[in-house]
Structure 1
Amino acid sequence: MRRFARTLGTAALAVAVVAGTAGWASGDTQAAVTGPPPGTAAWRADTVSGRPLPDPATAAPGEVARFFAGLEEGARRELLHRHPLVVGNLDGAPVSLRYEANRLAAAATGEARYASLAAPDRQVLAFDPRGRGQVAEVFGDLEHAAHVAVIVPGSDNDATAYDGRRTPHTGPAGMARSLREAAGGAAAVIAWTGYTTPVGVGLDAAHGRLAQAGAVRLARFTAGLDAVGAPDPALFCHSYGSVVCGLAARHTDAADLVVLGSPGMRAENCAALRTGARVWAARGPSDWIADIPNVAFGGIGHGTDPTSPAFGARRVPAADVQGHTGYFTPGTQSLAAFTSIAKGEVR
């Protein structure tokens, strides 16, 4: 009975902390954007040379890749122009075709906040304007890279704020650019804001609901990379993004799973992730995430601290990291370690 009371009290503390008693900002409840991309109904009604098109909701990325491999260039381009939102978000479709489709889709929204994504030098691998918007951008040459890294961000990230002003080397794009610059041509880095993230640090951030929806999308995204011949990726998962990665781990072919500033991965230890990936964890000395109780009760809380010895992850040095978002700052021990992981130098 005493043990139950202590557990209940700890869970209540977790809810109180998340609700704002430790100086956190409370967040609004978000509706997860799920399912196939906008324009799917028109895509399903279309054909090419009398052949039905692969259903974005049910066709595996490998099936999509085989479908496009069997098309002539003219047919590919017809589909690109008729259905840019579908082609741009269709995991398994040719990378260069998706870039072009997403430039068209971003421009077609007519919204100033998305105009920069339509620039000819952007390599946008996914763009979905529904809700707060989702976006994935490639830094480097994904089609020929020997190594691939994917940044999976946490709360307050979406397409509407993706190109907004931020402290250097933070946010999904800033982290991706920093890692890409450090790795040079050895790795392509993808900033993946491909799920509905929590807003603020309220109950959404303490719950696994949005992470569960995000994990499905991340697993499909990594399957799409595999379908186009990209190397098995290293996933770099920040904050709530580490919850997404923890739930997706068993469904991806990631070579490395790196969590930083993590509140937990909804797993008791590395073995519970059921992944063949190497698992790494980093937490800086001034990261406020350390104040979050590592509990899991009634759907609230994300469980064991991944940096604890009990979890069993490899530790990433982070003694010089400042705050919750400083892990990709040039010159830090963490960025140096991330670079080695991204380049496949660590075994």
Structure 2
Amino acid sequence: MRRYARTVVAFALATSVVTGTAGWVSGDAQQALTGPPPGTTSWRADRVLGAELPDPEQAPAEVAAFFDGLSERERQLLLVRHPSVVGNLDGAPLELRYRANSLSLATAEDPRYRSLAAPGRQILAFDPRGRGQVAEVFGDLRSAHRVSVVVPGSDNDAGTFDRANDVYGTPAGMAKSLHAEAGPGTAVIAWTGYTTPVGVGVDAATGRLAEAGAGRLTRFVEGLTADGLPEPAVFCHSYGSVVCGLAAHRLSATDLVVLGSPGMRADDVDGLRTRATVWAAKDPTDWIDDVPSVRFAGLGHGPDPTDPAFGARRIPAGDARGHTGYFAPGTDSLRAFAAIARGAATEEGAAR
């Protein structure tokens, strides 16, 4: 009977979305950005080193091996000639990527990106195509013993990456807050490296953009480990948890932490097929609780990860507020996130 009722709710959801009668359907359809970095055509044609350069779509481990064999002069030559490729090339040395993206941002014409070019910012990826994608590092990534990656949800791109309003709902704000709480020996990456939904419409209710994002997230993390960095803990907010759920079976991560999740496109933790420890948080005032925890006809993302039947370790979030309050200083959720980021969390330290 319960399964029948859930199917009826799902069918009503699907019908309202398709017919456009649901009041919450207000998003614009987005075209997922896929494929290699901007400038790849010129990179592929360049013989400045006397041979073909590695294809940007090669495995990050192969890219890392290529750069390991270059002299510093050769690395700098490629950086100057192809900053947009080097800055977004998973597997390339992070120090080289920082410099390449600094160069790209210094010449960017779009005023939305001026703040990203400020001195001292560690921009690990910058792609101005479409709505723009960016990744920024907080802390010393090279010396960190523990690394975390924050994957945001809808309405995030390079232009809204560190907007002044709703600070702890922004990718940069979440990552900066987590790093401040986690402390020395940690580094946190705010990763807006996929095309997110705009508004709460069909894109947010389906897995189309998440599928594309899952591939990009997997490759990004492969690039980190190929560059000698430790496997990260991955924190996935809202629609970002759909991305993480679809990536889970191929994502090298110590932990998967979902917060404000509409579902992970899996029936339970076993369905994720991951060796990472899976954690889930949802505060009682989060509007995501009103989203049906169903999946039908391609719409919806499945069970609530905080449901005990899902099998994730529960993170306390009773004092967080709303959909974007999980990383606010002083909250139980942020303290728990920081313990995970430090590798100090235990099953006994989180509600099951």
Query: TM-score over 0.5 for the alignment?
Result: yes
Q: Which amino acid aligns with 1:110?
A: E
Report what 1:51 is aligned to.
Answer: 51
Q: Which whole-Å CA distance do the structure 2 matches of 1:322 and 1:36 have between them?
A: 39
Report what 1:30 is aligned to.
Answer: 30
TM-score, with length taken from structure 1: 0.95
Tell me the CA shift for residue 252 of structure 1. 1.1
Q: Which whole-Å CA distance do the structure 2 matches of 1:285 and 1:215 have between them?
A: 28
Instruction: Map residues 13-28 of structure 1 onto 2, 5 A cutoff.
Output: 13=13, 16=16, 24=24, 26-28=26-28
Q: Is the 8 A contact 2:17 2:25 kept in 1?
A: no
Q: Which whole-Å CA distance do the structure 1 matches of 2:54 and 2:149 have between them?
A: 26
Tell me the CA shift for residue 17 of structure 1. 7.5
Instruction: Map residues 135-174 of structure 1 onto 2, 5 A cutoff.
Output: 135-174=134-173
Q: Is the 8 A contact 2:162 2:170 kept in 1?
A: no
Change (3 A) 1:68 1:83: same
Q: Residue deviations 1:46-76, cap 9 Å, x none? A: 134312111012x111111111111011110
**RMSD of aligned alpha carbons:** 2.0
Q: Is the 8 A contact 1:153 1:172 kept in 2?
A: yes
Report what 2:222 is aligned to.
Answer: 223
Report what 2:41 is aligned to.
Answer: 41
Q: Is the 8 A contact 2:186 2:341 kept in 1?
A: yes
Q: Which whole-Å CA distance do the structure 2 matches of 1:124 and 1:24 have between them?
A: 35
Tell me the CA shift for residue 192 of structure 1. 0.3
Report what 1:233 is aligned to.
Answer: 232
SS of residue paired to 2:115? helix
Tell me the CA shift for residue 120 of structure 1. 2.6
Q: Which whole-Å CA distance do the structure 2 matches of 1:18 and 1:321 have between them?
A: 34
Number of residues paired by the alignment?
346
Q: Is the 8 A contact 1:43 1:86 kept in 2?
A: yes
Tell me the CA shift for residue 111 of structure 1. 1.7
Q: Which whole-Å CA distance do the structure 2 matches of 1:15 and 1:115 have between them?
A: 43
Report what 1:210 is aligned to.
Answer: 209
Q: Residue deviations 1:140-167, cap 9 Å, x none? A: 0111100001000000000022232222
Q: Which amino acid aligns with 2:320?
A: V
Q: Comparing 106-115 with 142-151, which one deviates more in the overlay?
A: 106-115
Tell me the CA shift for residue 22 of structure 1. 7.5
Identity %: 66
Q: Which whole-Å CA distance do the structure 2 matches of 1:139 and 1:15 have between them?
A: 44
Report what 2:124 is aligned to.
Answer: 125
Q: Which amino acid aligns with 1:116?
A: S
Q: Comparing 22-31 with 155-164, which one deviates more in the overlay?
A: 22-31
Q: Is the 8 A contact 1:19 1:202 kept in 2?
A: no
TM-score, with length taken from structure 2: 0.94
Report what 2:247 is aligned to.
Answer: 248
Structure 1 unaligned regions, length at least 5: none
Change (3 A) 1:22 1:319: farther
Q: Comparing 217-226 with 168-177, which one deviates more in the overlay?
A: 168-177
Q: Residue deviations 1:266-299, cap 9 Å, x none? A: 0000001000000000000000101110111111
Report what 1:81 is aligned to.
Answer: 80
Q: Comparing 12-21 with 207-216, which one deviates more in the overlay?
A: 12-21
Tell me the CA shift for residue 4 of structure 1. 6.4
Q: Is the 8 A contact 1:18 1:26 kept in 2?
A: no
Change (3 A) 1:215 1:329: same
SS of residue paired to 1:47? coil
SS of residue paired to 2:27? coil
Q: Which amino acid aligns with 1:333?
A: D
Report what 1:103 is aligned to.
Answer: 102
